[in-house]
Structure 1
Amino acid sequence: MKAFVAGATGQTGRRIVQHLVKRGIPVRALVRNLEAARAILPPEVELVVGDVLDPGTLAAAIADSTVVLCATGAKPGFDPTAPYRTDYEGTKNLVDAAKTKGIEQFVFVSSLCVSKFFHPLNLFFLILVWKKQAEAYLQQSGLTYTIVRPGGLKNTDDPGAVIMSQADTLFEGSIPRTQVAETCVEALFQPSARNKVVEIVAKPEAPKRSFTELFAAV
C-alpha cells in the first residue's frame, strides 16, 4: 500500500499523514508550497507540488500510489467561489485522476450535516452543498470509497471514544482531528469500511470500540 494525500498540510490532512507514517505506510503528499510542507510534515514523506484545481497535474502526482485520501477544504474567506472550486471541482478532479490510475480505495473527508440545506455552514457560500455534491460524484465514480463525515473539528486531543453511525443520523457533536485522521487511515484496513458513508463524533462517556466493530456496525 502507498497513500496519496491531498490537503496534506491542512489541520486534518497533516494528522492523516502522521497516522499513515505511524502505521508504516509510505506517503506521497500533494502540496502547493514545498518549504511550508517540509516544516509541517514528517521527513520521510514524499512531497509533490500540485493543486487539485489543476487536473492536468494529478495523474502524474498520484504516480505509484495505490490509495487516495482527500482532506482538502475551502478556507474561510470572502471568495464566493472557493467552496465550489475546492470542495467540489477539486475533489471531482482528484476522483477522475484516481480512476485513470486504478486506485484501490478513495477516502474522502466530508462533514456532518451535508444533507441539511438550511444549516448555518451553508451561509459560507453553500460549503455543505458542494461537499455533498462531491460525495455523490465519488459514489457514482465506480471507485471503492469510504466517506467520513466528522462533527465539529477540534485541534485538542480530548479524551473520548469514537461514535460511528450511518449517513444522516448524527446532527451534532464534535471530534478531535486526530480521531478523524485515525478513522480515515483505519478505513484502509477494514473491508467493512468499503463503499460506506460514516458519520463520526466523540464522547467521553461512550464505550470504546475497535474500528473493526465500528465499521461493521454501520
Structure 2
Amino acid sequence: MLLCSSAGGGFNLLSPANTANSTRLSSHFVHRNPVSSFSFSFRSSSLHLSENFKSNRDRRWYPIVASSTPVIESTQSSFRTKNPKDINVLVVGSTGYIGNFVVKELVNRGFNVIAIAREKSGIRGRNSKEQTSNELKGANICFSDVTRLDALEKSLRDLDIPIDVVVSCLASRTGGIKDSWKIDYEATKNSLVAGRNRGASHFVLLSAICVQKPLLEFQRAKLKFEAELKEEAGKEDSGFSYSIVRPTAFFKSLGGQVELVKDGKPYVMFGDGKLCSCKPISEQDLASFIADCVLSEDKINQVLPIGGPGNALTPLEQGEILFRLLGKEPNFLKVPIGIMDFAIGILDFLAKFFPAMEDAAEYGKIGRYYAAESMLILDPETGEYSAEKTPSYGNDTLEDFFERVLREGMAGQELGEQTIF
C-alpha cells in the first residue's frame, strides 16, 4: 500500500511493510509494476480547464483548450491488450459509497488501482488517512483534491506513471446547486483533464438514470459533463473512448425506513405508493458492472442504463416486502404529494429574497423528484418509463438487502447528507 499527498502542498511517501516486489519509479512513489513495459511520447498540447467554476450566479462555461502541460501517450495500440496487473486505473470518488466497492472490485480483478482520496474522507469528513488506507487495501492511495485541477495534476505528475483508464465515481453529497456543479461537473472534468494529460485513453463515468429527465441542478451538471466526454471521444484520431453508466436506485437509498418499521413505525410513502418504481441494484453488483466497463469492448462509447435483477418495484411493493419479512401487518402512512409541492413553492418564493434558501428549495425538489419519478428507462417513443427496457444485472435482490439490514442494521449503509426520511 503506497500513499502520496499533495493537497497540503507537500508530498509524503508511506512505505508498505513488504515492498520486495516493488520498483521505484520516482523519489515519491513506489509502483508494483516496472515502468519499462511502457514507452512514451510527449506533445505540447493537452486538455485544460480554462477557468474554475465561480458560482451558480456566474455560470459561464468554457471549452477544453490547449495548455503547455505535457501529455503522456502510450505507443501501444490499446491498453486492452495488456494483463490487468499492467493496466493503471485511476479512480476518483474512491471513498464514496459506490467508489469504495469499485476500488475493491478492480483490485480483486488484478488491476493496478490508483485511488484518489481526500485527507479527511467519508460522511462529513470523519475518516482519517489511516482509516481510508484500511478501507482501500490493495490500492495505491494518493491523497489529493479533485476540486483543484492544479493539485490533482501535481499528484499525478509526482506519481510519474501513465494512466490507462479513469473511473469516476464522483457525486455531489448534498445535491445542492453549487455543490452539484463543483463536483458533478467541475471536479469530474478535472479528472478527465488530468487523466488525459497522463495518457488515459478510456473514461468510465458513474452517472445516474434520472438524467433522462433533467429537472434538478445535479442532473444538468452531469449531463453537461457527459456531453463534453462524448465530444472528447468524437475528436478525430483522439484514440479516446468512454463508458457512461447510468444506474437505477441503490439499495441504501431504499433502506432508510427499515429500522423505523422494525421499531413499529409506519412505512411512509407518497400518494398511493404507486407513483414511481425502480429496479434497485446493489453496490457490489454495480461495482462489478463498472469494472466490466474497463475492458469490455461492447461497452465502448456507450450510455449504459443498468438495474438490478427481478421486476421493478413500487414503494408500496417495497413496503410490503419489508412487512412480510418482519411478519407484521402492513402499516402505511400515505402522504399527499401536494404537500411537497406546497413546501417547495414556499421555499422557491423565499429563495428570491434570501439566496441562502436556494439549496433548501433544491433539496425539496430532489425529494419530490424521487417521490414521483421512476428510476427506469424513459422510452422516447411513448414518453413513459419502461421496466421491460431497463437492463438487469447481478444477483442481489432488495429482499436480500432488507433481510441483511434487519439482522445487522444499517452499519456501512448510512445515508449521511443524503437522508430524506
- State the TM-score, normalizing by the size of structure 1: 0.79
The 5-angstrom pairing of residues 57-76 of structure 1 reads 57-62=151-156, 63=159, 64=161, 65-76=163-174
Q: Deviations over 1:32-82 (max 9, x none)?
A: 12233113211x2111111211101223434423111000111127x5300
Find the counterpart in structure 1 of residue 195 from structure 2. Answer: 98
From 300, 306, 310, the equivalent of 1:200 is 306
Contact 2:308 2:392 in 1 (8 A): no
Question: Deviation at 1:208?
Answer: 8.0
1:190 equivalent in alignment to 2:287: no
Match of 1:128 among 207, 216, 219: 219
Decide which structure has greater strand share. 1
Distance 1:201 1:10 in 2: 20
User: Any gaps of 5 or more consecutive residues in structure 2?
Assistant: 1-86, 120-128, 234-239, 254-276, 312-387, 395-421
Out of 232, 257, 260, the residue aligned to residue 141 of structure 1 is 232
209 and 69 in structure 1: CA distance in 2 versus 1, 3 angstrom threshold: closer
Return closer, same or farther for 1:136/1:208 CA change in 2, 3 Å cut-off.
closer
What is the CA deviation profile of residues 93-146 of structure 1, one whole-angstrom value per residue up to 9, with x for unaligned ones? 11111221220211000000203123xxx2xxx111111111111111233110
For residues 2-49 of structure 1, what are the alpha-carbon distances to aligned partners after superposition, in whole Å with 9 as ceiling and x for unaligned? 11110101110010001011101111110112233113211x211111
Q: Name the SS of the counterpart of 1:183 in structure 2.
A: helix
Match of 2:187, SS state, is: helix
**Structure 2 CA distance for aligned equivalents of residues 28 and 117 of structure 1:** 32
CA distance in 1: counterparts of 2:241 and 2:189, whole angstroms: 15
Cα distance in 2 for residues equivalent to 1:10 and 1:173: 21
Return the offset for 1:90.
Answer: 0.6
Residues of 1 paired with 2:226 and 2:241: CA distance? 12
Q: What's the Cα RMSD here?
A: 2.3
Counterpart residue number, 1:22: 108
Structure with bigger RCO (C-alpha 8 Å, 6+ apart): 1
Structure 1 residues 175 and 54, CA, compared in 2 at 3 Å: closer, same or farther? Answer: same
| 1:209 to 1:10, Cα distance in 2 relative to 1, 3 A | closer
Q: Counterpart of 2:221 in structure 1: which amino acid?
A: W
- Is 1:85 equivalent to 2:182 in the alignment? yes
> Counterpart in 2 of 1:11?
97
Indicate how the Cα distance of structure 1 residues 61 and 154 shifts in structure 2: closer, same or farther if over 3 A, else same.
farther
**What is the TM-score when the length of structure 2 is the normalising length?**
0.42
Partner letter of residue 145 of structure 2? D
1:111 to 208, 211, 221: 208
Contact 1:31 1:51 in 2 (8 A): yes
Whether the aligned pair in 1 keeps the contact of 2:115 and 2:141 (CA below 8 Å) is yes
8 A Cα contact 1:30 1:61, kept in partner? no
- List gaps (5 residues or longer) in structure 1: 157-170, 211-218
Query: Where does structure 1 differ by over 4 angstroms across 4 or more consecutive aligned residues?
Result: 205-210
Aligned to 2:132: 37
Q: 1:204: how far off?
A: 2.7
C-alpha separation between the residues in 1 aligned to 2:154 and 2:89? Answer: 14
- Cross-structure match for 1:166: none
Give the AA of the match of 2:310: P
- Closer, same or farther: CA 202–48 of 1 in aligned 2, 3 Å: same
